[in-house]
Amino acid sequence: MALQKDKMELLLIAQSARMLAQSAARGGFRVIAIDFHADSDTCRHTEKCIAVAPGVEGFDEVALLAAAGQFAPQHGQSALIYGSGIDTRPGLVERLAQGRKLLGNQPASLNIIYNPPSFFTLLTQLGIPYPETRFTPPDQTKGWLVKPSCSEGGMGVGWCAKNQQPSRDAYYQRFVRGEVYSLLFLANGKENRSIGFNTQWTATHNPAQPFLFAGAINRTDLSEAQCLAVGEYAAKITAATGLVGLNSLDFVLADGVTLVLETNPRPSATVALYDEDYAEGLLAWHIAACLGELPPTTRNTGPVRALRIVFCPSNFTIPVGFQWPDGCADIPNPGAMMEAGQPLCSVLVKDKNRQEAETLVKSLENEILNGLHSLKTLNVGAASAAQGE
Ligand SMILES: Nc1ncnc2c1ncn2[C@@H]1O[C@H](COP(=O)(O)OP(=O)(O)O)[C@@H](O)[C@H]1O
Ligand SMILES: [Mg+2]
C-alpha cells in the first residue's frame, strides 16, 4: 500500500468519530474530526476535534457544513471520510464532498442502498435471498417488522402494530428467527475482499427497541459454504452499486440459508474487531481501496475480539475522576449528563478463546456499571451530608 500521507489530511465526520480517528492515528494520518461529542478519547487521536451538537434528526446540516468549512476548507488538502449518521443522507454527503476529495461511497451508491424498493429489487435481480419484504403494511401484522429506510444500529426497527399506518420512509419485513451476523469487507468499486465474519448481539434493556445493536464478536458458527455464499452476495452488490472502501453486510441465518438484511455503506463498528491486525490500521486500507487497491485475500485467524456497547441503566451525571477500566472507549467527559437507555461507553476485549472473550466483555460491563453505581451512591451521600440532612 503506497499512500502519500504527508499530502493528505483527513476530515472524519460521524456521530462518533472515535474509532475512525483511532484507526487513522494507527496509520499515521493527520486528522480533523467532527462528531457529536468530541470525547476526550476522540480528541487524543486527532489534531483538531470539533463537537457539533445533534438536532432531532442527527447532524444539523447548516452547523455541520459551517464547521467543515471553518476547520477543513474546500479546495484545501482535506479528504472526506464519513461514518454512521452521514451515510443515510446522500444529499449531505454530496454537499460535504464539494471541493473535497471523497474517500467513501458516492451519493449515487447511497441512493440505491438507502432506497428500500431499489435495494430489494436489486437483490432480486442479483438472485440474493432476503426475508419477505413489502412497502405497505401487511393485513396480518403478527411476525412482521417495521423498518425505517434510514435506520442505524437497529434503532428504528420494531414490531409492526395492528393498525400500522403506512409510511413513505418505512418498509415491512417478515421477522426471521435465526442468528444475526455481519461481514466486514473492503471494496474498490468492482471487486471486494472479506475482512471477517461476525456474530451480532442485540440489547435487551429496552422493550421498545428490541433490535438495538449491542456489540459483536469476530467469530461465527457459519459453515465454509455459508461464508462463501455471503462473500458472493457482497461481490455482486459491490459490482452493481460501485461500493468502495470499508462496508458491511448484515444477514440472518435461517434453515441453513443466509438472508441479507442490509448493507452498511461505510466503516461499521466491527472495524474495531480487526483494526489492530493491520499494521497501518484498516482506515489506511479503506483509503487504499477507495483509490482502487485491495489487500491480499486473508483468512481471519487473528485473535478473538469482542465489542460491547454499555447502556446507561438510569439518568445520571458522569462523575469526575472515575477510573474507566482498560478496554473502555467512547468515554463520556466528566460532568456529561447521561440518560437511561443511552449508550454509556463501549468495551473491546481480546482473547484466545470465544467463550472467554464473551465472559470478559460482560464482566467489564458489570465492573463499569457497579463502579459508577457505588460512586453515585457515595456522591448522593456526600451531597446529603453537606446539606445537613
Ligand atoms: N427480517 C428480520 N428478521 C429477524 N431479525 C431482523 C430482521 N430485520 C432486522 N432484524 C434485526 O434488527 C437488527 C437491525 O436491522 P437492520 O436491518 O440491520 O437495520 P439497522 O440499519 O437499523 O441496523 C438486525 O441486526 C436484526 O437483529
Ligand atoms: Mg444493521
**d(CA 376, ligand 2 centre) in Å:** 34
Confidence check: pLDDT of 190 > 90? yes
pLDDT attached to residue 333 = 86
- Return the residue whose CA atom lies nearest to atom 16 of ligand 1: 154
In what helix (H) or strand (E) does residue 367 lie, and over which residues does it extend?
helix 354-386
5-103 maps to which CATH number? 3.40.50.20
Q: Which ligand is nearest to the CA of 261?
A: 1
**d(CA 86, ligand 1 centre) in Å:** 19
For 110-302, the fitting CATH number among 1.10.3720.10, 3.30.470.20, 3.40.640.10, 3.90.1150.10 is 3.30.470.20
Predicted confidence (pLDDT) per residue in 320-371, tens digit: 889 999 999 999 888 888 888 999 999 999 998 999 999 999 999 999 999 9
**d(CA 276, ligand 2 centre) in Å:** 23
Pocket of ligand 1 from Cβ distances under 6 Å: 131, 145, 147, 151-155, 157, 173, 175-176, 180, 200, 202, 211, 250, 252, 261-262
Closest CA to 347 of 364, 333, 363: 364
Residue 172 · residue 165 · CB < 8 Å: no
Q: How confident is the model at residue 382 (pLDDT cuts 50, 70, 90)?
A: very low
Q: For the chain, what percent of residues have pLDDT higher than 90? A: 77
**d(CA 385, ligand 1 centre) in Å:** 49
Q: How confident is the model at residue 253 (pLDDT cuts 50, 70, 90)?
A: very high
Confidence check: pLDDT of 377 > 60? no
In the beta sheet, which residues pair with residue 9?
30, 78
Q: How confident is the model at residue 186 (pLDDT cuts 50, 70, 90)?
A: very high
Confidence check: pLDDT of 208 > 60? yes
Amino acid in position 137 = P
Model-level pTM?
0.94
Question: Mean pLDDT across the chain, nearest whole number?
Answer: 92
Q: Which ligand is nearest to the CA of 133?
A: 1
Q: Which ligand is nearest to the CA of 210?
A: 1
A 10 A CB-CB count for 190 gives 13
Question: How far apart (Å, rounded) are the C-alpha atoms in residues 341 and 328?
Answer: 18
**d(CA 61, ligand 2 centre) in Å:** 24
Cell of 356: 472467554
**d(CA 196, ligand 2 centre) in Å:** 16
- Return the residue whose CA atom lies nearest to atom 27 of ligand 1: 211
Predicted confidence (pLDDT) per residue in 210-239, tens digit: 999 999 999 999 999 999 999 999 999 999
Of the ranges 151-165, 248-262, 289-303, 335-349, which is most confident?
Answer: 248-262
Question: How far apart (Å, rounded) are the C-alpha atoms in residues 343 and 354?
Answer: 24
Confidence check: pLDDT of 389 > 50? no
Amino acid in position 218 = N
User: Out of 13-17, 67-71, 312-316, which region has the weakest mean confidence (pLDDT)?
Assistant: 312-316
Q: Which ligand is nearest to the CA of 212?
A: 1
Predicted confidence (pLDDT) per residue in 78-128, tens digit: 999 999 999 999 999 999 999 999 999 999 999 999 999 999 999 999 999
pLDDT attached to residue 376 = 64
pLDDT attached to residue 207 = 87
Q: Give how far the C-alpha of residue 118 lies from the chain's centroid of Cα atoms, to the nearest Å.
A: 23
CA angle 55, 61, 63 (to 5 degrees): 80
pLDDT attached to residue 3 = 76
Residue 173 · residue 180 · CB < 8 Å: no
Residue spans per domain, the chain? 5-103, 110-302, 305-386
Indicate the top mutation candidate among 141, 171, 183, 250 to test ligand 1's pocket, ranked by most ligand atoms within 8 A of CB. 250
**d(CA 219, ligand 1 centre) in Å:** 19
Indicate the top mutation candidate among 123, 157, 171, 181 to test ligand 1's pocket, ranked by most ligand atoms within 8 A of CB. 157
